[in-house]
Structure 1
């Protein structure tokens, strides 16, 4: 079974190295693809310096969805594809826990369930909206609906013409995958990443998330 890891990255020069080193240490991984989404720092230079990593650079910042779609065109004959954020650092090795249930035939998709945040974020509105939306449309009760760390059997990703863009992508994909009858499993991991705090930029980010998820859910009503 061939396993590929896809890492979209934007201005992650401080973390991309550690993220790659954690994954490169896993014998189960056959291919690592990094897509630098038009970073203004040395993200691409650092990623491309690692042997065993295929790094690509987009000329301008086009968003995570675009970077993921571009990266999928570069992946070669994978049976399992892992989406991994560039900011998880040395905890990236935890993706092994996402891969094993798929290899063992337990499920078609795994979603990383992170430990509780180390610092206070928002007030839980975005998480509640995401969880409620998934339950409304599928009946499934999932806790990590916003997590971007996921592993998929290739045939699951084949149901999408393209990975949607925007902050509602994970919620929309989860709904579509469950509706198609694929089995999804949440897997506890000890990953960490850059957390959004209770400052102006943090509330702006969560506001965008809430809006994008709301739009995705509204669209589901009319499909």
Structure 2
């Protein structure tokens, strides 16, 4: 029987992580939250909601949190038919929309399904980092994607286990797409009605996108610094 593993990397997401966990459990999915260098009660909220929780110490890094999650999945003796969901902690109850990502895999239409969220409008930035990521992927794979930075994905385990390392930080999605397509993965974008917190056009938002852009640049250069199957 095919299993679904949902990995949620979470850094100080105590306000939304429980709703996200509960929505994914109903799919159904085996939900893992990686509490990534949190200073709040994210881990406790996730555990109370029914998730398995791993706590990561040190410097916060999304790719390192995902790598920890993938190692946990490997320890569960998954089969090649199993599916891994990657879901951001701040989508809350709209995480239930991940069912549409799973459907694309189950119907054998894709090996990786990427969630395309509704437009951010004035709540988002100016789209510069996303535009750069599109350009990078088009150059690397020949494919132009609408949502190259989306953290909402469903991926076949048999492909994930073939990877050796991940691009660091917020370059992880661009790196995953590039590397999986080189392995022959069929990639499909799927519209999902998910909502998440936008960083907006504040100075913090611009700082976040500057860091994100730097990580995308490193990913575009082929740097894969986060080892998957050894402890970081």
The TM-score, its normalising length taken from structure 2, stands at 0.88
**Counterpart in the other structure of 1:72:** 70
- The answer on 1:164 being equivalent to 2:167 is yes
User: Structure 1: where are the runs of 5+ without partners?
Assistant: none
Q: Tell me how far 1:202 sits from its aligned partner.
A: 0.6
**Counterpart in the other structure of 1:44:** 43
**Counterpart in the other structure of 1:140:** 143
Q: Tell me how far 1:145 sits from its aligned partner.
A: 0.5
Q: Distance in 1 between matches of 2:167 and 2:142?
A: 22
Check 1:159–1:195 CA distance in 2 against 1; reply closer, same or farther (3 A cut).
same
Give runs of ≥4 in structure 1 deviating > 3 Å.
59-62
Match of 1:185 among 185, 188, 192: 188
**Counterpart in the other structure of 1:56:** 54
Match of 2:120 among 117, 120, 124: 117
Mapped contact 1:11–1:43 kept (Cα < 8 A): yes
The TM-score, its normalising length taken from structure 1, stands at 0.92
Q: Distance in 1 between matches of 2:158 and 2:58?
A: 30
Q: Tell me how far 1:141 sits from its aligned partner.
A: 1.5
Aligned residues: 217
Mapped contact 1:119–1:195 kept (Cα < 8 A): no
**Counterpart in the other structure of 2:157:** 154
- The answer on 1:32 being equivalent to 2:35 is no
Q: Distance in 1 between matches of 2:71 and 2:222?
A: 27
User: Structure 2: where are the runs of 5+ without partners?
Assistant: 224-232
Q: Deviation per CA, 1:112-162: give whole Å up to 9, x if none.
A: 000001534322211111111111111112111000111110111122113
